[in-house]
A and B are shown apart, each in its own frame.
Chain A
Amino acid sequence: MIKTTPTKKRLLLFIFFGWVLLILGDRVGDLELYQGSFVATYALAITSIILLTGYSGQLSLGHGALMAVGAYTGALSIFNAGLHPVIGLIISVFVAGIFGLILGLVVARLSGPYLAGTTLALAISLPTLANQFPILGGEEGIVFDVGVAPARFGDEFSQYKWFFWISALAALIMVWLVANLLSGRYGRTFRAMRDNPVAAQLSGINVGQLKVMAFALSSGVAGLSGGLLVMLISGVSPSAFPLSLSFAVLTGAVVTGLYNLKGVILGGLVLVAIPEIADSLVSRIGGSEGFTTTLPGFLVSALLILAVVFTPNGPGHLLKRHHHKKKV
């Protein structure tokens, strides 16, 4: 076999996975493509949480707000400024990242519950800003149109396949970039900072600077996730980023392993599956409308509690430990 470094291995793995998705995309129906796009989007959001909370140890209860920043930026770039959708998505990454940078600077001195509370406040207040500035479109929001698939793909190429290709590709690229970052020096530095900030500082790591950087990176990824999310619903509005989204994404990260990226896809699948499960539960056992609307939220919360109690380090971490044990 050709001698491959872990980096090269990772690249090949991602390319292979992308190819698998491409083939699968041709075999499944529109509904699965639609759901698959959501899986990719949520997987990306979970990645941003893992980067921030799992690796750099900062808790955020308000990632929905960061996703919203990316989403609105993307929508404004495409709709108001008339830019190409790909440029719009790239801009949403950078603007969300800059926003995260500023946010990181602001909360740099906070930690634990104080940081959590600040991010929570942000999540609640940020979407309502849309109602204050007419350019943000109020409750109706702004249209987010990535356009139809290029004509060369033919008439049969459905809109949902196009969404799937865009979201899967964007997620793959971004997760690959983050995986590379985290497997290198920065990953180790973040973990050092998370586990023992004092020791890290004594070893010469600029904890403050790195915390801010982690925030910025995480926000950039969240921004892309937000942009993809509103692409799927063809428009951004405050109702796309309720508080429950922030909790759901955090739960997804905790449930599938907060400390490494291996479970992000599974996390995305879980988040997409929960409303489905709730739906079929309700149709099986019946229930009032109030029950139907609160059940998904209840399932998310129950899942979070179970995960924290039984697998605080995530199932992936358990497998990893097992693997290491086997090696020895």
Chain B
Amino acid sequence: MKRASLASAVIAVGALVLSTLPAQAATPGVSATEIKLGISSPLTGSAGVAYGKVPGAMKAYFDYINANGGVNGRKIKLISRDDKYLPTLAATQTTNLILKDKVFALVGALGTATHSKAYKAAALAKNNVPDLFVNTGFSGFGDTTKYPTTFTVLPSYAMEAKIMSKFIKEKFTGQAVALIAQDDEFGIDGVNGFKAGGLTLASTTLYPQSSLTDARAKALLTGLSAIPGKPVLVLFGTTDVTAGILKAAESLDLVSKFTWIAGSVGGDANTLLALGVKATTMTGVVAASFFPDAKDKSDEYVSQFMKINEKYNTKGVTFDNTVLQGMNSAMLTVQALRAAGKNLTRAGLISAIESKGAKFAGAGLVPLNYSATSRVGYNGYWFGQLNATGELKPYGGTLAIFTTDSGAGAIEASTYKRPTMPKNGIPTNS
């Protein structure tokens, strides 16, 4: 009997072996006709509501490019896996992308805690897997000793907090400032940024990811409402929590007590409205961006991406800032693949971005900072106020863009001129 079960176990393992031939391809994920890219991001769960549109947006842009000749004759295939914003799932899904789906590179990995765990678990450094344009502003991802194959794209949370500090000190002098932030590297990055920006906080509340209940939010707001004057309340968290806090304020009738500033991660107006925040609450909320607003049809990138969304994305997906960001990253990815040449290798892709990435065309209103020594993408923000339809309009009427770094560097007014969009949004670079 022992023999029988041993035999059955061995046979079972043998079946596993025989069912998959060992893949000894020269470069995984690249064939004569196809390039496979992978993304692990939340598609379901509380974060899925806010960020679930990213893979679809990227895929829509890639389909557009595929319909127009692809990249050096190859079509781009995006494989998307759901990690529900959970670090453990991100680790296994990213590993699956590398081992099972055998993708060439990762694009748009989302989340600080999720991706930092996934990076390690999937041995991305060891396999030299390019990790492009991660959807997180954690400044640590620009550290090449820890993340040698990663390229950030979003300005870091530290940068955002620094520029926010300058903005608050100038526009809201004399008012107390309270911070509510997610208790992980993302939130701590912000806390450090505020410190570097020289802003003294009257109160700092850190909460574990996605766990700020309605009751706790109400208690928090009641406590903060005791601060005299019109305190500035900075919400440095994900959209679901930002919505929760705003709705708690509505029920306590404390909306007008504070000046609300929503950090970039949780400040997407359309998602907040979809999560039940009233339009009247939204009006006047200060938010930061480094893109043109997704409703600004006068912007050439926005209108082109809108057309692509209409034609190539799943029916019914409304064009918003998330879709805009996704398509922009996809556009950067296409330019990176083109720059790496017909003989596509992982190392080649990484050095292509290092040498040519700073010149890539994109919708961002601040420069890209890729170089041989920097993996940092966009590095600045402008501040605006949301109106009742969720559009972000420059604060005070004039667009004022500032750039900085994640450390102790100065905050400077930007004189950057964005490159013109390639014709029809189809890159022709090499």
Contact = CB atoms under 8 A, between A and B. Distances in A.
Interface string B94-135: 010001100000000000010011001101001000000000
A277 B10 CA distance: 20
A60 B113 CA distance: 31
B2 A262 contact: yes
Contact of A316 (B5, B123, B184): B5
Contacts of A30: 99
A28 B87 contact: no
Given A143-B120, A235-B120, A289-B44, A266 B89 contact: no
Decide if the interface of chain B is mainly helix, strand, loop or mixed.
helix
B16 A35 contact: yes
Interface in A294-310: none
A124 B22 CA distance: 40
B184 A139 contact: yes
Contacts of B89: 239
Contacts of A239: 86-89
Interface string A7-25: 0011001000100110010
A237 B82 contact: no
B5 A262 contact: yes
A188 interface: no
B12 A32 contact: no
A28 B16 contact: yes
Interface string A272-296: 0000000000000000011011000
Contacts of B126: 159
A138 B22 contact: no
A320 interface: yes
Nearest to B184: A140
B91 interface: yes
B209 A233 contact: no
Given A13-B6, A31-B99, A292 B87 contact: no
A112 B277 CA distance: 47
A235 B1 contact: no
Given A24-B13, A35-B16, A234 B117 contact: yes
A240 interface: yes
A235 B183 contact: no
B8 interface: yes
A266 B8 contact: yes
B32 interface: no
A32 B100 CA distance: 10
A269 interface: yes
Contacts of A320: 1
A293 B82 contact: yes
Contacts of B16: 28, 32, 35-36
Nearest to B16: A32
A131 interface: yes
Nearest to A35: B16
Nearest to B186: A140
A34 interface: yes
A323 interface: yes
A240 B114 CA distance: 12
Nearest to A143: B120
Contact of B121 (A233, A263, A269, A316): A233
Contacts of B184: 138-140
Contacts of B12: 265-266, 269
Contacts of A240: 88
A323 B3 CA distance: 12
B20 A32 contact: yes
A31 B20 contact: yes
Interface in B1-54: 1-2, 4-6, 8-10, 12-14, 16-17, 20, 22-23, 43-44, 48
Contacts, number: 115
B91 A138 contact: no
Nearest to A241: B88
Interface in B178-199: 183-185
A76 to B, nearest CB: 17
Contact of A233 (B5, B20, B91, B113): B91
A1 interface: no
Given A17-B6, A266-B12, A139 B121 contact: no
B157 to A, nearest CB: 15
B211 interface: yes
Interface in A224-253: 232-235, 237, 239-240
Given A159-B123, A159-B126, A27 B17 contact: yes
A29 interface: yes
Contacts of B209: 138-140
A277 B66 CA distance: 31
B208 A233 contact: no
Contacts of B185: 140
Interface in B125-171: 126
Contact of B113 (A10, A28, A139, A232): A139
Nearest to A31: B99
B114 to A, nearest CB: 9
Given A131-B211, A235-B120, A266-B12, A31 B82 contact: no
A139 to B, nearest CB: 4
A29 B17 CA distance: 8
Contacts of A316: 5
Contacts of A265: 5, 9, 12
A13 B99 CA distance: 32
Contact of B92 (A21, A28, A233, A293): A233
A256 to B, nearest CB: 10
9 contacts: A13-B6, A20-B10, A24-B13, A138-B209, A234-B91, A235-B87, A266-B12, A289-B43, A320-B1
Interface of B: 1-2, 4-6, 8-10, 12-14, 16-17, 20, 22-23, 43-44, 48, 82, 84, 86-89, 91-92, 95, 99-100, 113, 116-117, 120-121, 123, 126, 183-185, 208-211
A-B complex: 10 closest residue pairs judged by Cβ atoms: A239-B86, A234-B121, A140-B113, A31-B99, A233-B91, A240-B88, A139-B209, A131-B208, A265-B9, A239-B88
Given A31-B20, A265-B9, 4 more contacts: A28-B22, A140-B113, A143-B120, A235-B121
